[in-house]
Chains A and B, each alone.
Chain A
Amino acid sequence: DSGVTQTPKHLITATGQRVTLRCSPRSGDLSVYWYQQSLDQGLQFLIQYYNGEERAKGNILERFSAQQFPDLHSELNLSSLELGDSALYFCASSPGRGRRGYTFGSGTRLTVV
C-alpha cells in the first residue's frame, strides 16, 4: 500500500456520460497530481494541485476538470466521455512541489463503451 488511495478501481460507463474519480493523498502530502495512461502509452500529466490551489496544467481536455478539497483529497471529473477516454487514471502525491516523495496510487481503470 503506497498510502495514496484511489477510488473506484474500475469504472465502466457509456459515451456521453460523466464520472468522478477520487484520490486521497498520502498523509502529510500537500500536492496531488493526475495522470492519464492510455494503452501502451506513457503517463501524460493532466493537472496538479497544491494545498487546494491549481498549480500546473498539462494535457488536460476542457471536458475534464479537477479540484482539491480542504482535507486535501482530490477529484477528477470527466464529462461528455468518448471512447478514447478509456485509460488508466493515476493520482500521485508529494509533500511539496514534486521533488521527492512522489508516490503513485494504484489507479482507476476507466472503460467507456
Chain B
Amino acid sequence: KNQVEQSPQSLIILEGKNCTLQCNYTVSPFSNLRWYKQDTGRGPVSLTIMTFSENTKSNGRYTATLDADTKQSSLHITASQLSDSASYICVVADRVLGNSGNTPLVFGKGTRLSVIA
C-alpha cells in the first residue's frame, strides 16, 4: 500500500473555479510535506513545503493545509487558470529515512487537473 495516497485521481474544472486536492499519508514521523506541480513531460516544480508544525502555507493562488493529527493535507487552488492544468503531487519527507541518510521523499501518484475554458 502506498504511503501517500492522493484523491481524486483526476479532476476537470472550469476556468475561474476553485478546487481542492487531497493527500492522506501514513509516513510517520515525517519532516515535511511538499506539494509539487508537474506539467506534462516536465520535471516537478515545488509549490509549498510545510514542516510538521505548520498548518498552512500559501504560494499565490495555491494554499496548502496540513493536519498532522489526521495525517491529511490539502492543496486549494483559487480562481483556476488554464495554465494550472497539470499533475499535482503530494510528497512526504520521511524523518527516519532522512536521518539514516537514505532518500527521505515518498511520492504520491498525483492528481491530474484539467482546467477548461
Residues on B with beta carbons closer than 8 Å to the beta carbon of A107: 41-43
Can you name the residue of chain B whose Cβ is closest to the Cβ of A2?
Answer: B43
The one of A41, A99, A105 that contacts B104, using a Cβ cutoff of 8 Å: A99
Contact, CB under 8 Å: B102 / A102: no
Contact B104 A104 (CB under 8 A): no
Contact residues on B (Cβ < 8 Å of other chain), bracket = 20 to 34
| Cross-chain contact of A104 among B45, B101, B103 (Cβ < 8 A) | B45
A64 beta carbon closer than 8 Å to chain B: no
CB-based contact A42/B31 at 8 Å: no
In the assembled complex, 14 residue pairs joining A and B whose CB atoms fall closer than 8 Å, in A order, are A2-B45, A42-B89, A42-B109, A43-B89, A45-B105, A45-B107, A48-B103, A55-B103, A56-B103, A58-B103, A90-B43, A97-B101, A105-B43, A106-B42
On B, residues with C-beta under 8 Å from A are 2, 31-32, 34, 36, 41-46, 49, 89, 93, 97-98, 101-105, 107-110
